[in-house]
Amino acid sequence: MIRLLRFLSPYKGRAAAMLLLLFLQVLGTLYIPTLTADIVNRGIVTGDLDHIWRVGGFMLLAAILTAGVSVAVTYLTTWIFSIMGRDIRNALFQKSQSLSLNEFNRFGTASMITRCTNDITQIQQAYMAAIEMLLPAPVMTVAGLILAFSKDTLLAFSIIGAMLVVCLFAFLVSRKALPMFARLQSLLDRFTRVLRENLTGIRVIRAFNRSDSEKERVDQTFTDYAETAIRINKIFAAMMPVILIIMNFCTLLIIGAGGQRVAAGRMQIGDIMALIEYAMLILYYLIMGIMVFMIFPRAQSCANRVSEVLSVQPEAPGTPRSHRDSNEAASPARLELCNVTFQYQGAEEPVLNNISFSAHKGQTTAIIGGTGSGKSTVASLIPRFYDIQSGTIRIDGRNIRHMPKRELRDKIGYVPQKAFLFSGTILDNFLHGKKDAGMEEIRHAAQVAQISDFIDSLESGYQTCVSQGGSNFSGGQRQRLSIARALVKRPEIYIFDDSFSALDFKTDARLRAALREEVRDAAVILVAQRISTIMDADQIVVLDEGRVAGTGTHRELMESCQVYQQIAQSQLSEEELA
């Protein structure tokens, strides 16, 4: 919690004003009972109407001022912590964007969402409660006690006695409630995860007739959360009456003992009223302070979760170098992988071992291999979604580690294996490739991607709405739309990760023919499962269990590479093989 206070630094002035006003509010609140005592003692008892009017007017003024000040305090507190919440959310989001996928996967999407939403809300609420309830408590207690002692020593001690009883009781309650608060947060995480899984996987759940069992699972997480919350609330519900009883006992004591003193002429009647109000104020703030203490551990664990993300060192952003270092020799290749070895975080062994190949401008380099052989992993290393453990990847002779990520990614048009579209219009999605692309360029890209006829057939054409993830399009349409998006960008390197898999053979062939014309100046990396898609590539890299099993053209590989022959035999007819 303390570390997050740095987010307050831009608003120092307002924070100081808030503290000052808070102090005034406490003084105002304590001043009013003193005036009450004065009215009773010197006005009512002596029948001095003038005095009553004068002090009464003064009291009204004090009450109005105090009310105004507390409105200002609440306004400032809300303002400061809402803005602080916004700033922390922004920082968290920025951070999540800069994390490597390895780091991101460590937290998980569901937890990231909870951290950005609920966790920050908890932190905001705890800070606000601390300002409004906890901070005034010590001032209120000390000042209230001083005033109480000035009225009567013995009765002031009885207030202290009541405070001790409340503290003891709160200690007992918090021992029970604190672990439950901690549990609540982890239950919330689980609940978000299960809910998210169920909402995104709805089709699979229905297809496998898992609706009932999933419903049970979701229900169980909701129930666990609700039960813990109910248990906490029960404790608090039981706490309230007990505290009221303590407060009432304290009042009784003051009235009883005070009455005797008034009768004995040792005390004035108005002082009893003042003492009761001091006692109530002190106990109220004490109880509120204790409550805040109880919600603090939960907020603290939220703050830790937020800080955990914020404190991740983003991997080296790429140190720009104007000149090439000694092993960044000028190379004719646009893209070059040299002995690349890569292991996912937490995995037992590398998924890629000593991968080397180079891709040239104007040529298509295909990567083929069985499922799980590491094709997508190679594709994701080029835009540096992950950093490799050893070896080098160079673009135009420059190590990609020495390039700012933005520059690197500007050079690359990446079409992921699982086509992903953003909600908005088709046009919006194309503009993701290039912000200022003209309609001409966009139409052209759509033509090359063999999707323009389809878009033209839509009633709203390029303005057609895309729903979240692109779920209102077929798999093949999504693929072609994402291909078109990459084409709009006109990058130096294209990476198509199995992007033609959902296309029929004819569309696949037409698209590749159109693409060949289009990408003359770029290097194309084409990952595929189908031999027919890559047969006429300039170069084919065969991956097998994370190793390069062979490199060459279709003809060369048919003669030399066993893995390739097997794939070919399983897919092509005798005459095609000949």
Ligand X SMILES: Nc1ncnc2c1ncn2[C@@H]1O[C@H](COP(=O)(O)OP(=O)(O)OP(=O)(O)O)[C@@H](O)[C@H]1O
Stretch touching Mg ion by CB under 5 A, among 65-73, 249-257, 306-314, 372-380: 372-380
Whole-number minimum distance, CB 372 to Mg ion, in Å?
8
3 state DSSP class of 532: helix
- Cβ contacts of 222-227, under 8 Å, gap ≥ 24: 222/191, 224/187, 224/190, 224/191, 225/184, 225/187, 225/188, 225/191
Q: Which residues face 491 on adjacent strands? A: none
DSSP state of 8: G
Q: Which of 111, 376, 450, 533 binds Mg ion (CB under 5 A)?
A: 376
Nearest in space to 442 (alpha carbons), one of 481, 407, 491:
481
DSSP state of 538: S
Choose between 376 and 452: whose C-beta lies nearer to Mg ion: 376
- Cβ contacts of 432-439, under 8 Å, gap ≥ 24: 432/485, 433/485, 433/486, 433/487, 433/488, 433/489, 434/488, 434/489, 434/490, 437/488
Buried residues in 344-366 as b, exposed as e (16+ CB within 10 A) = eeeeeebbbbebebbbbbebbbb
Query: Which residues, numbered 330-349, are part of the site for ligand X (CB under 6 A)?
Result: 344, 347
Residues with Cβ within 8 Å of residue 59, at least 6 apart in sequence: 32, 35, 36, 39
Whole-number minimum distance, CB 417 to ligand X, in Å?
6
Instruction: Give the type of residue at 482.
Output: S
Choose between 273 and 549: whose C-beta lies nearer to ligand X: 549
Whole-number minimum distance, CB 531 to ligand X, in Å?
14
Query: Which residues, numbered 489-508, are part of the site for ligand X (CB under 6 A)?
Result: 498
Choose between 211 and 389: whose C-beta lies nearer to ligand X: 389
Are 343 and 389 spatial neighbours (Cβ–Cβ below 8 Å)? yes
Q: Which of 118, 307, 331, 417 binds ligand X (CB under 6 A)?
A: 417
Q: Which of 374, 433, 470, 476 binds ligand X (CB under 6 A)?
A: 374
Choose between 417 and 553: whose C-beta lies nearer to Mg ion: 417
Buried residues in 280-318 as b, exposed as e (16+ CB within 10 A) = bbbbebbbbbbbbbbbbbbbbbbbebbbebbebeebeeb
331, interface contact from ligand X, Mg ion, none, CB < 5-8 Å by kind = none
Q: How far apart are CA 130 and CA 296, in angstroms?
A: 9
Choose between 349 and 440: whose C-beta lies nearer to ligand X: 349
With binding defined as CB under 6 A, does residue 372 bind ligand X? yes
Whole-number minimum distance, CB 343 to ligand X, in Å?
9
Count of residues in contact with ligand X, rule CB under 6 A: 15
With binding defined as CB under 5 A, does residue 479 bind Mg ion? no
Stretch touching ligand X by CB under 6 A, among 374-382, 406-414, 533-541, 557-565: 374-382
Whole-number minimum distance, CB 505 to ligand X, in Å?
19
277, interface contact from Mg ion, ligand X, none, CB < 5-8 Å by kind = none
Whole-number minimum distance, CB 325 to ligand X, in Å?
30
144, interface contact from ligand X, Mg ion, none, CB < 5-8 Å by kind = none
Site string (86-105) toward ligand X, x via CB under 6 A = -------------------x
Q: Which residues face 366 on adjacent strands? A: 526, 540
Q: How many residues does the chain have?
A: 578
Query: Which residues, numbered 381-420, are part of the site for Mg ion (CB under 5 A)?
Result: 417
Whole-number minimum distance, CB 376 to Mg ion, in Å?
3
Stretch touching ligand X by CB under 6 A, among 32-40, 192-200, 309-317, 370-378: 370-378
CA angle 524, 527, 533 (to 5 degrees): 90
Where does 126-165 show beta strands of DSSP type E?
none
Whole-number minimum distance, CB 499 to ligand X, in Å?
11
Residues with Cβ within 8 Å of residue 400, at least 6 apart in sequence: 318, 382, 384, 393, 394, 408
Whole-number minimum distance, CB 516 to ligand X, in Å?
24
Stretch touching ligand X by CB under 6 A, among 60-68, 365-373, 388-396, 484-492: 365-373
Measured from each CB, the residue nearest to ligand X is 376
With binding defined as CB under 6 A, does residue 371 bind ligand X? yes
Nearest in space to 73 (alpha carbons), one of 147, 140, 15:
15
Q: How far apart are CA 316 and CA 324, in angstroms?
A: 18
Q: Could you report how far apart the first and last alpha carbons of the chain are, in Å?
A: 71
Instruction: Give the type of residue at 68.
Output: G
Query: Which residues, numbered 529-558, are part of the site for ligand X (CB under 6 A)?
Result: 529
365, interface contact from Mg ion, ligand X, none, CB < 5-8 Å by kind = none
Q: Which of 70, 174, 377, 450 binds ligand X (CB under 6 A)?
A: 377
CA atoms within 13 A on the CB side of 335: 27
Q: How far apart are CA 461 and CA 452, in angstroms?
A: 9
Count of residues in contact with Mg ion, rule CB under 5 A: 2
Whole-number minimum distance, CB 105 to ligand X, in Å?
6
**136 backbone φψ class: left, alpha, beta (φ>0; ψ -120 to 50):** alpha
With binding defined as CB under 6 A, does residue 477 bind ligand X? no
Q: Which of 376, 450, 452, 477 binds ligand X (CB under 6 A)?
A: 376
Chain residues binding ligand X by CB under 6 A are: 105, 344, 347, 351, 369, 371-377, 417, 498, 529
Chain residues binding Mg ion by CB under 5 A are: 376, 417
